[in-house]
Chain A
Amino acid sequence: MRHLLSASDLGGEDVAAILDTADKLKQTLLGREVRKLPTLRGRTVVTAFYENSTRTRVSFEVAGKWMSADVINVSATGSSVGKGESLRDTALTLAAAGADCVVLRHPASGAARRVADWLADHGTSVVNAGDGTHEHPTQALLDAQTLRESLGELTGRRIVIVGDVLHSRVARSNVRLLHRLGAEVVLVAPPTLLPTGVRDWPVRVTHDLDESLEGADAVMVLRVQAERMHGSFFPSAREYAIAYGLNERRLARLPEHAPVLHPGPMIRGMEISHAVADSPRSLVTDQVRNGVHVRMAVLYHLLAGEETAV
């Protein structure tokens, strides 16, 4: 594996390998006073973030540092990007400066793929940390890991994803990855927030959240930006919350074993109620915790030589 650009780059064995590695790393670090492995010593990881992000950026940075990689952050406002440098030139600069891996967050769909193409002749790996409304593959991996911890194998499990699927890179990556893992995916959204052709995706589509919760093994709630209502995607935040928000009443309909996930940042009172967000059923902080281990595993599989053991 040279790059991680899309969840569809990953075969079933790749996913298993990454998640098993993540698990092993988690166990290794458990209870350690000094959380530092020498695995990626001498490797340079650059996180280039062209969008605001707290959790993803911190997660990658921690992941790199816990494996002793040199992690350098480039932010779009604090670099030559602000002066109008092209993404291509920035990518070539980072590669020339010695980056072994570029972790890219960018508002343009396909940006990570473009960077990987521009760096084809360099040894640099590219990790897509979210490109526009396209994909966010490490989010899907950490979601799968969190679900696996909670439910065991995901084959045949019914995972409900509710929210703004149209604009969600998390949804696209999760649909691909969960399908690869044999799970049954149900997408719930108003018709305005579903992509064209979604009925040909390997999913079941419904506009009825209540109905979808029965028999669900997990619910993944997607963020819905309130400004979407200005594009007439839905009439009001209140109407959205009533029809598609996950509240306590709906939580009660969900089978007891089924957890609630959210990729964050959560808008409480909109897509998820305060009580559900803080309920024991919510695995939001587990997702963040697993995010570090999964990203360690991704960096490990991309950067460590075959001979380097975890």
Chain B
Amino acid sequence: MSGTDAGTTLFRGVLPYGEGEPVDVLVADGRIAEIGRVTQRADRVVDAQGLVALPGFVDLHTHLREPGREDTETVQTASEAAALGGYTAVFAMANTDPVADNPVIVEYVWQRGRDVGLVDVHPIGAVSVGLRGERLAELGAMARSRAGVRLFSDDGHCVSDPLLMRRALEYTRALGGVVAQHAEDPRLTGGAQAHEGPAAAERGLAGWPAPAEESVVARDCLLAHHTGGRLHVCHVSTAGTADVLRWARGRGEGTITAEVTPHHLLLTDERLATYDPVNKVNPPLRTAADTEALRTALAEGVVDCVATDHAPHAPQEKDTEWACARPGMLGLQTALSVVVLTMVETGLLDWRGVARVMSERPAEIAGLADQGRPLRVGEPANLTLVDPEARWVVRGGELASIADNTPFEGMELPATVAATMLRGRLTSLDGKVLS
């Protein structure tokens, strides 16, 4: 894990943050040793002409499915997907089976991540026992475990009880923790199948109304300010939530951060037309106006970062009638391309902005000291090299995840990850995992 055994690597002709003249970057002892015109020899030389160098991506929201659903994804396969997607750190949600609501499970997931060694796997602890929303899980024990849990979430379920949410925001202050909320008032989403709007109404799909998210986010922002706690809003999906965040941020003692998924930046409820559940996700795909508002919010920093909500599902859970299908979609290997399509090609973000939303902000939110660092001599060599000119066609069967269904199937997307480096060791190169 130290990276010292990885030898030295020289990237020739990269563009840090896509800016300025091409430079060489020498990596030695797991750190950036030299930037500029490098004459020194290296154990490995990577021709990186035209590639954009960014700090390694950090994903605050993934479902690695281990333990419990190893038929759809494992720490091994998800780590491969992460390495191929440009990620050097991923956070694994707690809704495994058994639930990660105790030190044993979070340490197991953490250890599995270390064993695979392709990406730093940070387990997220459940807020409540069994994700049931009734009483707090042993947050302190998980924080003090070897996994060093700092993010807590009942994702998949909302901590809908306002008292429990208040206590979680208060209690985690002593742990330096963050409560990541899946904002969904369950009283407003009973039986919901799709975004409550004309598209779902026409197709007879029960609606998931935007205020079910917005009202919980508003409440939680107020609770965060009241308690001085740290709230992170998972998968912001509506224009209204962006407005609530714009209003709430910086208005009090609490720290409020938020993420948006690639699919909510790109896909809309027009996808309901085929009833194909590859498009089923929670929160649901919303309207074109929502995707526009979310792009703006991300560009402005009202939403801090992109998180994939990578959620693999078995084919029998997706190739069904809509109401029976599980919500969720793959994300680790398509995230960068979707961000380039929706944010870079539209002029909303430059590559520095991509570094901010994919790496720097998520690392800051999670308190990772060695991730999301500037591309400077002496910094840890957690790097992602992007080919900005490449285009590729998404084929679910060719992705590293065990599950192979994706709403991006057959779409041509811009930009590929040419290389990923974790503490000086290449974890992927030219679309191949290096283990």
Contact = CB atoms under 8 A, between A and B. Distances in A.
A162 B316 CA distance: 39
Interface in A193-217: 195-198, 200-201
A131 interface: yes
A108 B322 contact: yes
Interface residues of A, number: 26
B163 interface: no
With a 10 A CB-CB cut-off, give which of A131, A198, A200 has the most chain B CB atoms. A131
Nearest to A89: B316
A132 interface: yes
A110 B200 contact: no
Interface string B303-333: 0000000000000100111111000000000
A93 to B, nearest CB: 15
- How many chain B residues sit at the interface, stated as a range, is 20 to 34
Contact of A109 (B198, B276, B323): B323
A82 B233 CA distance: 41
A196 B201 contact: yes
A172 B204 CA distance: 8
Nearest to A135: B204
A114 B275 contact: yes
Given A88-B320, A114-B322, A109 B197 contact: no
B203 interface: yes
B202 interface: yes
Interface in A53-108: 86-88, 106-108
Given A113-B275, A197-B197, A172 B202 contact: yes
A214 B67 CA distance: 65
Interface in B194-221: 196-198, 200-207
B321 A106 contact: yes
A223 interface: no
Contacts of A113: 274-275
A109 B274 contact: no
Contact of B321 (A111, A133, A195, A198): A111
B71 to A, nearest CB: 16
Contacts of B323: 107-109, 132
A131 B204 CA distance: 9
A114 B275 CA distance: 7
A197 B322 contact: no
Given A114-B275, A197-B198, A109 B203 contact: yes
B198 A110 contact: no
A169 B204 contact: yes
A131 B196 CA distance: 19
Contacts of B204: 109-110, 131-135, 169, 172
A195 B202 contact: yes
Interface string A162-205: 00001001001000000000000000000000011110110000
With a 10 A CB-CB cut-off, give which of B198, B201, B205 has the most chain A CB atoms. B201
B196 A114 contact: no
Contacts of B276: 117
Interface in B96-119: none
A133 B319 CA distance: 20
Contacts of B198: 195-197, 200
A197 B201 contact: yes
A226 B20 CA distance: 69
Contacts of A107: 323
Top 3 nearest A-B pairs (CB, nearest first) are: A197-B198, A110-B275, A134-B204
21 contacts: A86-B320, A87-B320, A87-B321, A88-B320, A107-B323, A108-B321, A109-B205, A109-B275, A110-B275, A110-B321, A110-B322, A111-B321, A113-B274, A113-B275, A114-B322, A133-B206, A134-B204, A195-B198, A196-B197, A196-B207, A201-B202
